[in-house]
Structure 1
Amino acid sequence: MENEAQAVNVRKNQSRVGLVLLAFIAFISLGLPDGLMGVAWPSVRHQFSQPLDSLGYLLIAGTIGYTLSSFFSGKIMSRLGVGGLLAASCALTAGSLLGYTLAPVWWVMVGLALFAGMGGGAIDAAINTYVAAHFAEGLMQWLHASFGVGITLGPIIMTLGLKNTGAWRTGYLEVGSAQLLLAVCFILTAAMWRNGQSAGKEAERNLADYHTPLSETLREPRVWLSILLFFLYTGMEVILGNWAYTLLTESRGIAPQTAGLWTGSYWATFTLGRMLAGLYTRRIGGRKLVAGSLLLALIGGLLLWWNPSNTVGLVGVATIGFAIAPVFPALVSLTSDRVGLKHAANTIGMQISASGLGAALLSSLAGVLARRISLEIIPVYLVGINTLLIGIFLTSIILSRRQDLAR
Structure 2
Amino acid sequence: MATTIVTIPPPAASIELDSRPLAAGSDIPPINTRSHTFSAGDEESSPLDDQPPEGVAVFERPNVSTVKGKLLSTNFAVFISGMNDASTGALIPYLQPAYDIGLLFVALVYLINFSGWLVAAFTNVHLTARLGMGGVLALGAAFQLSAYCLMFWKPPYPLFVFSFFLSGLGLAYQDAQANVFVANVNNSHRWLGILHAIYGAGALLGPLIATTIATRTTHWHYFYLVTLGVAVINLGMLAWTFRRGLFKGVATAKESANRDLKKALSELTVIVLSLFFFLYVGTEVTAGGWVVEFLIRVRNGEPSRVGYVASGFWAGLTLGRLVLADITHRLGERRMVFVYIILALIAQLIFWFVPNIIANAVTISLLGFFIGPFFPTGISVATKVLPRDLHVASIGFASTMGQAGSAAFPFLTGAIAANSGVKVLQPVLVGLLAGMAIFWALIPRVARHSS
Match of 2:205 in 1: 153
Q: 1:32 touches 1:154 (CA, 8 Å); kept in 2? A: yes
Spell out the pairing of 1:198-277 with structure 2 (5 A cutoff): 214=262, 218=266, 220=268, 224-277=271-324
Q: Counterparts of 1:216 and 1:294 in 2: how far apart (Å)?
A: 27
Q: Which of 318, 330, 354 is matched with 2:377 structurally?
A: 330
Helix, strand or coil for the counterpart of 2:67? helix
Higher helix share: 1
Identical positions, percent:
25
Counterpart code for 1:72: T
Q: 2:147 touches 2:164 (CA, 8 Å); kept in 1? A: yes
Counterpart code for 1:68: V
Q: Counterparts of 1:151 and 1:92 in 2: how far apart (Å)?
A: 20
Name stretches of at least 5 consecutive residues in structure 1 with no aligned partner.
1-11
Helix, strand or coil for the counterpart of 2:433? helix
Counterpart code for 2:415: V
Match of 2:152 in 1: 101
Is the alpha carbon distance of 1:344 and 1:79 closer, same or farther for their aligned partners in structure 2, counting shifts above 3 Å?
closer
Q: Which moved more, 1:265-274 or 1:282-291?
A: 282-291
Match of 2:408 in 1: 361
Match of 1:301 in 2: 348
Q: Which of 163, 166, 174 is matched with 2:215 structurally?
A: 163
Q: 1:290 touches 1:331 (CA, 8 Å); kept in 2? A: no
Spell out the pairing of 1:392-403 with structure 2 (5 A cutoff): 392-394=439-441, 396=442, 400=444
Q: 1:145 touches 1:272 (CA, 8 Å); kept in 2? A: yes
Q: Which moved more, 1:178-187 or 1:345-354?
A: 345-354
The count of corresponding residues between Structure 1 and Structure 2 is 379
Q: Counterparts of 1:83 and 1:403 in 2: how far apart (Å)?
A: 31
Q: Which of 114, 119, 137 is matched with 1:63 structurally?
A: 114
Is the alpha carbon distance of 1:381 and 1:403 closer, same or farther for their aligned partners in structure 2, counting shifts above 3 Å?
same
Match of 2:337 in 1: 290
Q: Counterparts of 1:107 and 1:44 in 2: how far apart (Å)?
A: 13
Q: 1:336 touches 1:343 (CA, 8 Å); kept in 2? A: no
Q: Counterparts of 1:342 and 1:90 in 2: how far apart (Å)?
A: 26
Q: 2:91 touches 2:210 (CA, 8 Å); kept in 1? A: yes
Quote the offset at 1:159 in angstroms.
0.9
| 2:161 is the counterpart of 1:110 | yes
Q: 2:64 touches 2:185 (CA, 8 Å); kept in 1? A: no
| 2:193 is the counterpart of 1:141 | yes
Quote the offset at 1:70 in angstroms.
4.6
Quote the offset at 1:336 in angstroms.
6.7
Q: Which moved more, 1:62-71 or 1:365-374?
A: 62-71
Helix, strand or coil for the counterpart of 2:293? helix
| 2:189 is the counterpart of 1:189 | no
TM-score by length of 2: 0.75
Q: Which moved more, 1:22-31 or 1:62-71?
A: 62-71
Q: Counterparts of 2:265 and 2:142 in 1: how far apart (Å)?
A: 36
Q: Counterparts of 1:186 and 1:390 in 2: how far apart (Å)?
A: 36
Match of 2:226 in 1: 174
Quote the offset at 1:78 in angstroms.
4.9
Q: Counterparts of 1:219 and 1:147 in 2: how far apart (Å)?
A: 28
Question: RMSD of aligned C-alpha atoms?
Answer: 3.3
Quote the offset at 1:148 in angstroms.
1.0
| 2:140 is the counterpart of 1:89 | yes
Q: Which moved more, 1:285-294 or 1:85-94?
A: 85-94
Helix, strand or coil for the counterpart of 1:376? helix
Give a deviation string over 1:211-247, Cα, whole Å, max 9, x none: 7894796485x66544432222221111112101111
Q: Which moved more, 1:174-183 or 1:73-82?
A: 73-82
Quote the offset at 1:72 in angstroms.
2.9
Is the alpha carbon distance of 1:76 and 1:135 closer, same or farther for their aligned partners in structure 2, counting shifts above 3 Å?
farther
Q: 1:148 touches 1:268 (CA, 8 Å); kept in 2? A: yes
Match of 1:21 in 2: 72
Match of 2:170 in 1: 119
Q: 1:68 touches 1:118 (CA, 8 Å); kept in 2? A: yes
Quote the offset at 1:92 in angstroms.
2.4
Quote the offset at 1:402 in angstroms.
11
Helix, strand or coil for the counterpart of 2:308? helix
Match of 1:388 in 2: 435
Give a deviation string over 1:114-147, Cα, whole Å, max 9, x none: 1111211111122122223444422111111111
Q: Which of 92, 96, 112 is matched with 1:41 structurally?
A: 92
Counterpart code for 1:363: P
Is the alpha carbon distance of 1:71 and 1:129 closer, same or farther for their aligned partners in structure 2, counting shifts above 3 Å?
farther
Is the alpha carbon distance of 1:79 and 1:224 closer, same or farther for their aligned partners in structure 2, counting shifts above 3 Å?
closer
Helix, strand or coil for the counterpart of 1:123? helix
Q: 2:271 touches 2:398 (CA, 8 Å); kept in 1? A: no
Q: 1:36 touches 1:172 (CA, 8 Å); kept in 2? A: no
| 2:178 is the counterpart of 1:131 | no
Q: Counterparts of 2:64 and 2:381 in 1: how far apart (Å)?
A: 29
Counterpart code for 2:379: V
Counterpart code for 2:236: V
Is the alpha carbon distance of 1:308 and 1:289 closer, same or farther for their aligned partners in structure 2, counting shifts above 3 Å?
same
Quote the offset at 1:90 in angstroms.
2.2
Counterpart code for 1:254: G
